[in-house]
Structures are given as C-alpha cells and as structure tokens.
Amino acid sequence: MPRLLQDLRYALRSLFRQPSFAATAVLTLALGIGATTAMFSVVNAVILKPLSYSEPDRIVAVMNYWTKSGSRGATVSAPDFHDWAAQAQSFSALAYFTGGETSVTVNGTADYASVIRVTPDFFNALGAKASAGRLFTAEEVQPGGPLAVVITDAFWKKQFGGQPGAIGAAV
C-alpha cells in the first residue's frame, strides 16, 4: 500500500510540472469515453434492444429475387404483392408499404410530410393499435372507396395541436 501512495504522489507531481500534458490526457480520455458512450447507445438501440413490436422475431421482409442476375429487389410490384397475398399460407399477415414525401394541407396551411402508403394488414402484421380513432377498413382499400389516413402522434401534435378534433378532419 505505501508503494501505491508513493506512485500516486509521483504521478500527481509529474502532471503538475507539465499542465499541458495533463490537459491533453484528460481531454483525450473525455473524448474516448464520450465516443464509446455514443457508440454503445447506438448499438444498444439498433442491435441489442428488441424491437418494440409484439413478437418481433416473427416479422420478416419479403422481396423479389431474380435468379438470372442474382440480385434482390427492394420494392415489390402491386400485382406481385396481390399474387403473394392470395397464395400465402405461411404468413399470419402480409402487408405492403411504400413511402415518400408529399405536400399536405391542414386547416389551410401547406407543409411537407413523410407519407407511407400501406395495406390494411400493415398494422395487423406489426401488432399496432390506434391510440385514438381507428385504423383502415376494407371499404377504404377498394377502388373508388372512401379515402382515409392514419396520422402519427408527432403529426397530430404539430398540425392539429394535439386536439381530439383531428379525428374526422380533412387532410
């Protein structure tokens, strides 16, 4: 134990003799700890922490695979999806989604928003429930059927001020 105290006194004297080295060492340690913490936070959120869906191990992405070229398609055509949905026997739900950004007008105010077009089974496949209002009905997906949207909590708060009157409002 006395040897440890002697080594600590020597280290402190050395650091006080060269304050620029001490500051560089402390700064390097702080940056290293900060970078490590940031990387762990990302890895934990993306890889280690389970998805917030019910039964996330049962969710899969299905895509096209062309045997001649050996390439995979990130998108699936609507006819392919409808064929798969009609013939699928191994899936409890099969859903389609495609997204982009578009302009939206709410209460006379125009803005841009991320828009994802989904089939009604999309929410069923993820086990998602509406926190207010309802999800899509079968009539709304028929050609010429009534139009409906499901909005996110963030969009509801930004565009409608979190008011319950958003249900049934025009977008």
Domain that holds residue 157: 56-166
The Cα–Cα gap between 11 and 9 comes to 5
Asked whether the predicted pLDDT for residue 52 surpasses 80, the reply is no
pLDDT of residue 55 exceeding 80, the answer is: no
* More confidently predicted of 31 and 64: 31
Please tell me whether residues 39 and 66 are part of one structural domain: no
Nearest in space to 114 (alpha carbons), one of 84, 72, 154: 154
pLDDT at 96: 85
Which residue type occupies 87?
Q
Residues 15 and 98 in one domain: no
Split into its structural domains, the chain has a count of 2
Q: Return d(Cα 171, Cα 152) in angstroms, integer.
A: 13
Tell me the average pLDDT across 4-20. 89
Examine the pLDDT at 62 and tell me if it is beyond 90. Answer: no
